[in-house]
Amino acid sequence: MNHKQLSVQEAIDALAKAAEIAGLSVKVEVTRPSSKDDSMFDIEALMGRQKGEKVEPSVADNLREAASTYEDRNKVYGDSYKRYGEVMMALFPDGIEVFTTDDFNRLGVFNMIVSKITRISANLSRGGHRDSALDLIAYAAMLTELTCEREG
């Protein structure tokens, strides 16, 4: 694993940012390292971790990542999730009865199909969305399998 070597200022900035994310205040004291190149530091060592030690993301990290993912996807799909209910009401104006495990399995896959269709429709005039189209093929194959098993 490659480790980024940081200058003293970069290391101080990285520690300050990590502390800010963690909601901590930190006093950074720099002492001369015993290495030959005293202008560079290993950030993992500065943060008290072993080389290659996995650091689990915090709740705040996950929330930031989720928000970023939402923003990226929303640029592609728009608010297609807000049209899902209208589509389902049009398909099932009298509702739908779901009683068995098989019913729930089939409905779950069907829901994914409708979700993919709403995503594709959000981009159809610009050519669609390839990943959603491929997902749609996979979900249709799953629904076919479940239907064949039911017809058995």
pLDDT tens, residue by residue, 100-120 = 999 999 999 999 999 999 888
pLDDT at 32 over 50: yes
Residue 25 CA to residue 98 CA, distance in Å, equals 54
Report, as an integer, the average pLDDT of 5-34: 67
Find the length of the chain: 152
Residue 127 CA to residue 122 CA, distance in Å, equals 10
Report, as an integer, the average pLDDT of 67-83: 88
From its phi and psi, is residue 109 left (phi > 0), alpha (psi between -120 and 50) or beta? Answer: alpha
Report, as an integer, the average pLDDT of 131-141: 93
Helix 130-151 × helix 101-123 angle, to 10°: 160
| pLDDT given at position 1 | 46
Identify the weakest region by mean pLDDT among 33-37, 60-64, 91-95, 147-151.
33-37
Confidence tier at 3 by pLDDT (50, 70, 90): low
The pTM of the full predicted model, rounded to 2 decimals, is 0.58
Number of H helices, E strands in the chain: 6, 2
Report, as an integer, the average pLDDT of 28-36: 57
Residue 110 CA to residue 16 CA, distance in Å, equals 48
Residue 122 CA to residue 78 CA, distance in Å, equals 7
Q: Where are the alpha helices (DSSP H) in 57-129?
A: 59-77, 84-91, 101-123
% the chain with pLDDT above 90: 38
CA angle 102, 103, 108 (to 5 degrees): 100
Which SS3 state, helix, strand or coil, does residue 25 take?
Answer: coil
pLDDT tens, residue by residue, 36-61 = 554 455 555 656 666 666 778 889 88
Confidence tier at 127 by pLDDT (50, 70, 90): confident
